């Protein structure tokens, strides 16, 4: 700090103080630019969340990767409630909040109890769905919405996913 004081007069040197403030300003601007660049680079990729054990990749829809959007589809022999508990723990870890904390974002079941009105086995409709939102949006959007639901059959199309749990990732990021 003594370099701010003019040795001849013993007073604060205005020129030296101005140079010190200018150097400090340049350091702040360069640091801000670098942090902005790091955040942008991080936001230009999907927010990937680990999958539960014994989970198999079914398909990836990357048709809108340039637009910052991707869909990923998995299936697992675990029950929907087990998968939801796995992702709820991941969400608590992501938020750096203990799972037992009541006032935190958590995975939600829709509807909370029972089945969705209009659910009919065999027509491909869903009885219920768990939703977990992992949101890393700050300056730029970067999020992953995870939907968890019991596999259903669709007699009309011949698809049958009974006995497995489906996990769908909707990922959005800054293109």
Residue 172 pLDDT exceeds 80: yes
Determine the pLDDT at residue 67.
83
- Report pLDDT digits (tens) over 73-130: 999 999 999 999 999 999 999 999 998 888 888 999 999 999 998 898 888 889 999 9
- Report pLDDT digits (tens) over 6-30: 666 667 667 777 777 788 888 888 7
Q: How far is CA 67 from CA 37, 83, 171, in A?
A: 20, 29, 11
The answer to whether the CB of 72 falls within 8 A of the CB of 57 is: yes
Q: Could you give the CA distance from residue 132 to residue 138 in angstroms, rounded to a whole number?
A: 18
Determine the pLDDT at residue 53.
94
Mean pLDDT of 37-44: 65
* Helices vs strands, H then E, count in the chain: 2, 8
Is the pLDDT higher at 160 or at 87?
A: 87
Residue 170 pLDDT exceeds 90: yes
Determine the pLDDT at residue 62.
82
- Report pLDDT digits (tens) over 128-148: 999 999 998 877 888 999 999
Helix or strand run (H / E) with residue 70:
strand 69-76
Is the pLDDT higher at 150 or at 138?
A: 150
* Annotated domain spans of the chain: 2-43, 56-173
The structure tokens listed for 83 are 């998968």
The answer to whether the CB of 69 falls within 8 A of the CB of 172 is: yes
């Amino acid at each position: 700090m003594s370099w701010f004081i003019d040795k001849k007069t013993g007073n604060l040197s205005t020129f030296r103080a101005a140079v010190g403030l200018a150097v400090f300003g340049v350091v702040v601007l360069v640091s801000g630019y670098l942090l902005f660049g790091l955040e942008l680079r991080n936001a230009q990729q999907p927010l990937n969340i680990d999958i539960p054990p014994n989970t198999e990749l079914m398909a990836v829809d990357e048709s809108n990767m340039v637009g910052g959007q991707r869909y990923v589809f998995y299936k697992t022999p675990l029950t929907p409630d087990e998968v939801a508990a796995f992702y709820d723990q991941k969400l608590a870890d992501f938020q750096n909040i203990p799972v037992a904390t009541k006032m935190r974002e958590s995975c939600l079941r829709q509807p909370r109890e029972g089945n969705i009105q209009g659910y009919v086995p065999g027509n491909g409709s869903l009885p219920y769905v768990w939703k977990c939102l992992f949101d890393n949006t700050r300056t730029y959007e970067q999020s992953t919405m995870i939907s968890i639901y019991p596999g259903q059959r669709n007699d009309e199309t011949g698809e049958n996913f009974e006995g497995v749990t489906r996990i769908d990732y909707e990922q959005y990021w800054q293109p």
